Structure 1
Amino acid sequence: MTTQLAYAKGPLSPPVSDVTIGQVLADTAAQAADAIAMTDGSTDPAARCQWTYAELYDEAQAVARTLLQRFEPGERLAVWAPNMPEWVVLQYGCALAGIVLVTVNPSFQEKELAYVLQQSRSAGVVVLPEFRGNRMLQHVEAVRDQCPTLREVIRFDQWQDLVAAGRELTQPLPEAQPLDACMIQYTSGTTGFPKGAVLHHRGLLNNAAHVGERTGMEAGGAHMGYMPLFHTGGSVLSVLGALHKRANLVVVQMFDPGLILELMETYRARNMFGVPTMLLALMEHPDFTRRDLSSLQAVTGGGATVPTALVEKIESGLGAPFTIVFGQTECSPVASMTSADDSLEDKANTLGSPMPHVEVKIIDPASGETLPVGELGEYCTRGYHVMHGYFDMPEATAEAIDDDGWLHTGDLCAMDARGYTRVEGRLKDMIIRGGENIYTREIEELLFKHPAVADVAVVGLPSERMGEEVAAFLRPAPGETLDREVLFAYVREHLSPQKTPRYWFQVDEYPMTGSGKIQKFVLRKQWQEGAFTELQG
């Protein structure tokens, strides 16, 4: 009897298109010129400007021409701002100009910003001067001397000047190619040093289109754009997903359940996307039952599998089929996905099957051999969607993408005979908090530097709402007292809020392996048994 191997390939339809983002935008502007392309989902209804596809294309061309007065095609331009319509126009403008957009998390602090600007060798940065108390322009100026390639600092509060200057220019735009790099997004590695995934037009456009088709959603209508644009969930699945469906992208600056529910009703939203914590927050909001959400046709989740009871609650509460996507930034970002007509069990317990033209296999991490169906191993994927590599990191690229083109994701999964996979854990030490990937070593290395800390282990603890929360288990330095407030402030000074531990525990000694490594799974088990008391301060 032949053993079936854990290998599957997605369907051959719809096809993979060899086009660029600029070409698709131009075609859409020509064929659906007066269709609403984008709405500013401001809290103030009077400020809700709209762009047709013709207007969006016109503004993106103006931005592209202005940028080409300052940058060469192929150079990298960072964007550091929250969700805003200008961010979307900049994304399209860079694609038309052949400039590679480097996305930066708006919650980053100076150390994190400097690293991204240095490593990407960005020639410029487009920045919002301030957001939620983060003085972003001030931070840019503070790190400028550390970034030798940084020539230009462009301010979003002077956006109209940028657009006006471009409308005075008439030079032809360069002809981008489908496999040209168009975006670099940073994803932290287990070493604690972020890596810039180099993504291309062909991968991003087709991935967004295929995800949209698998939801079963009709064209047109409104798409909710509250997923962070610095993530592929925002800039790919939301922005390019709306472009594929010729839909109205309602751009929301930050996740506000009450505002989003009002916008969904006002603009007759057809889809919504979010990690489970977001979907729960929307359904638990007091306005949920009084808003008319009958236009909704698709709800898509990502970042974690969803319990059966929650799938049922989402589908009954929102009145639309639920699907879940699985992948990572490095695969543009989706490799597997459930379908709108999948069973409740598959939607809750699996990651779905491979996307069109995408291959997936489960391998033995030690030997590299493909495992039989049902056995746990590393999830690997190959196809049009895989990144070019990590920017200026050939060794990391070679570690992630093998000689046969397979991307090794580091996820521990098993595949059934149909090609559906389920995730069991991670080969690498990573915490997934509310859909955000957090790598523990970066936090540990920072805490090691604090004089009150002798040793530290950062662990993900289970959370019903967030999936996991960050916890720090610390051993104090001799003669030192650990103070929670002091340590919290120390981490927040250097790292983003989502990376700051929620729980702080003192330990006298760690459970260790025979080779001297901390057994984090034992710490997690001991916590579940009530062995630790939280630090005070």
Structure 2
Amino acid sequence: MGANRDPASLEGYRPFPEERTAAYRDEGYWRDTTFHGLVDDRAATTPDATAVVGPDRELTYAELASNSRSLADALRARGVAPNERVLFQLPNCVEFLEAFFACSRLGAIPVMALPRHREAEVRHLLDLFDATAYVTAGDRYDMGFDFVGLVDDLTGEFAHLETHVAVTESGDGLPDGWLDFATLREEPTEGGVDGVDVAPTDPGVMLLSGGTTGMPKGIPRTHNDYLFQWEHMAAAAGVEDDWVAFPSVPIGHNASLNCIVGAAFWAGATVAVEPVLKPGALLELIERVGGTYSLPIPTQLIDLLEHPDVDEYDLSSLEVLVSGGQKVPPRVVRECVDRWDVGFCNIFGMAEGPLVCSRPDDDVEVQAETVGRPIADAAEVRVVDMDREAEVPDGTTGELSVRGPGYFTGYFRNEEENEENFDDDGWFYTEDVLARREDGNYQVFGRIKDTIIRGGENIYAPGVEDVVAEHPSVANVAVVAMPDDRLGERPCAFVELAEGVESLTLDELTEFLAERGMAVFKRPERLEVRSQLPRTGVGKLDKKLLEERIAEETDAESGPV
């Protein structure tokens, strides 16, 4: 492997058009810096400030800059070249951030695989991105799975995968050809990344789509457009340089990397990382490090609020909580605000770029009932009719469409999706149903595919879920479509019961919804009580799986034809 290999091809990447690039620079939206450039700036101005705190390691900004440079030098010396893709599969740990900024320095592009991805997803990602390097957890962190063994078994099938790095406790026990992360970082090198010119307009990270069907799609984000969002998310949430931000979902997920980690680094704050993301571990982390700012998804918030020992932890350091990924039940927002005296950023976001959120100082009604406003005035945001031909008036539901300096320009090597969801003017159609209120705040009604069509009437499932969740017997709810021969679809509610509640009937739920004034056609016509609802790999309720289950059950109940 040569140390000075030519930059890899980015065939299949759609760059920003030149005229938009020039406009974003002229307007000052793009700073023309890189991820590692930001860390170097912080290292120059506040070298002794704590950048990252882990369970057993802590780095200042100066140390993070130095360590990431040493690692970049070592990877470069072993042949990792600009534009090559490096597959990350790590827990939330200090090494994740060292490797992320190292890739930025050498112009390589980290691909954000998640800890719950397994052989099918890893094969797909290695193939889609032609990854030449893979960085994962060895025995230093207990991830409950042998990732080293998984990838070692696949190595022979992917000739382009040449560099294997594992985070281990001692460096012992790795298969032949594998490198220990800490040993690699300390290797003496010559030259390294000197002379590597990283363009801020090039992709700096490959995020992944988070759907529940099919394989993940690649979402290229440039240094410029992603740093734009780091800057404006920090401003929207009011992040201060003395805050301690802690990601509650894997850092490889946009919700953490962008809204928490990125915003914190932009502000010069501290990032605290915890590999175990269970409620008890997160509560301990907040108390131990004085956690200030985080983004738990709604199911995690519910788990934290209902944790039997929650009142035994000192959570007084919390300043702002962000939540999204799926619709946050309004009652959960209000309970968090009342219980912990926090500002709440109710957020609608996508790895593709859209970020809309309420602000910490908004009235609680705005925080609970809306997702606020776009994080930056420069964002071009429209709500259009389902034909994608015209904007709809305030108060009317439609599809969210976006364009601007903080959004991606197309899926990587997926022209079919790009043709379907982009128009000739660069507008991206999200397939999400929103409405803009007259006060400028947006409300989310769900995915277009999350719409239940009952006899020609559209039912937006998240709106029904909000009301069902207010029932005192309900801890968690997912409303999905069940097939019906006559009406096409009917709404079915899957619920987890609140602690101490033994039963809930459909009649009881229907009476409750009637008292709340819900239209008859929107009320669930079947109730399924489960001890636990299934989650996706990132912890969201897996509604696709529930739809499949109810379809199978109704099909079985109808009997043979």
The separation in 2 between residues aligned to 1:496 and 1:282, in whole angstroms, is 16
Match of 1:146 among 157, 160, 163: 157
Instruction: Compute the displacement of 1:36 (Å).
Output: 0.7
The separation in 1 between residues aligned to 2:30 and 2:372, in whole angstroms, is 20
Instruction: Compute the displacement of 1:295 (Å).
Output: 2.5
Q: Are residues 1:21 and 2:35 paired?
A: yes
Q: Are residues 1:202 and 2:224 paired?
A: yes
Q: Are residues 1:126 and 2:128 paired?
A: no
CA contact (8 A) 2:394 2:438 kept: yes
The separation in 1 between residues aligned to 2:545 and 2:188, in whole angstroms, is 45
3-state SS, counterpart of residue 408 of structure 1: strand
CA contact (8 A) 1:129 1:138 kept: no
TM-score between both structures, scaled by the size of structure 2 = 0.72
Q: How many residues align?
A: 447
Instruction: Compute the displacement of 1:429 (Å).
Output: 5.5
Unaligned runs of 5+ in 1: 1-11, 43-47, 441-456, 467-490, 512-530, 533-537
TM-score between both structures, scaled by the size of structure 1 = 0.76
Match of 2:74 in 1: 66
Match of 1:7 in 2: none
CA contact (8 A) 1:83 1:251 kept: yes
CA contact (8 A) 2:299 2:539 kept: no
Instruction: Give 1:7-86 correspondences, 5 Å limit.
Output: 16-40=30-54, 42=55, 48-69=56-77, 70-86=79-95
Instruction: Compute the displacement of 1:226 (Å).
Output: 2.9
The separation in 2 between residues aligned to 1:266 and 1:190, in whole angstroms, is 35
3-state SS, counterpart of residue 385 of structure 1: coil
Unaligned runs of 5+ in 2: 1-25, 169-179, 452-460, 466-477, 481-488, 499-533
Match of 1:376 among 392, 397, 421: 397
Residue type at the aligned position of 1:22: H
Match of 1:396 among 412, 417, 421: 417
Q: Are residues 1:344 and 2:390 paired?
A: no
The separation in 2 between residues aligned to 1:234 and 1:129, in whole angstroms, is 23
CA contact (8 A) 2:43 2:65 kept: yes
Residue type at the aligned position of 1:160: A
Match of 2:114 in 1: 105
Instruction: Compute the displacement of 1:92 (Å).
Output: 0.8
The separation in 2 between residues aligned to 1:415 and 1:234, in whole angstroms, is 26
3-state SS, counterpart of residue 194 of structure 1: coil
1:322-347 Cα offsets, whole Å, 9 max, x none, are 1112121111xx42111112222221
Match of 2:305 in 1: 283
3-state SS, counterpart of residue 428 of structure 1: helix
Identity of aligned residues (%): 27
1:172-218 Cα offsets, whole Å, 9 max, x none, are 15232222101112215687242101111112222122112112232
Match of 1:175 in 2: 197
The separation in 1 between residues aligned to 2:280 and 2:60, in whole angstroms, is 26
Instruction: Compute the displacement of 1:460 (Å).
Output: 8.9
In the superposition, relative to structure 1, how do residues 117 and 105 fare at CA in structure 2: closer, same or farther (>3 Å)? same
Instruction: Compute the displacement of 1:360 (Å).
Output: 1.1
The separation in 1 between residues aligned to 2:309 and 2:189, in whole angstroms, is 43
3-state SS, counterpart of residue 213 of structure 1: helix
1:233-290 Cα offsets, whole Å, 9 max, x none, are 2222222122112112110102132232222223222212211221222233344323
Match of 2:255 among 227, 233, 245: 233
Q: Are residues 1:155 and 2:158 paired?
A: no
CA contact (8 A) 1:14 1:210 kept: no
Match of 2:268 in 1: 246
3-state SS, counterpart of residue 352 of structure 2: helix
In the superposition, relative to structure 1, how do residues 461 and 89 fare at CA in structure 2: closer, same or farther (>3 Å)? farther
Aligned CA-pair RMSD: 3.4
CA contact (8 A) 1:104 1:230 kept: yes
Range that drifts further, 365-374 or 125-134: 125-134
CA contact (8 A) 1:208 1:236 kept: yes
Instruction: Compute the displacement of 1:299 (Å).
Output: 1.1
3-state SS, counterpart of residue 330 of structure 1: coil
CA contact (8 A) 1:124 1:152 kept: yes
The separation in 2 between residues aligned to 1:20 and 1:188, in whole angstroms, is 25
- Between 1 and 2, higher relative CO (CA 8 Å, sep ≥ 6) is seen in 1
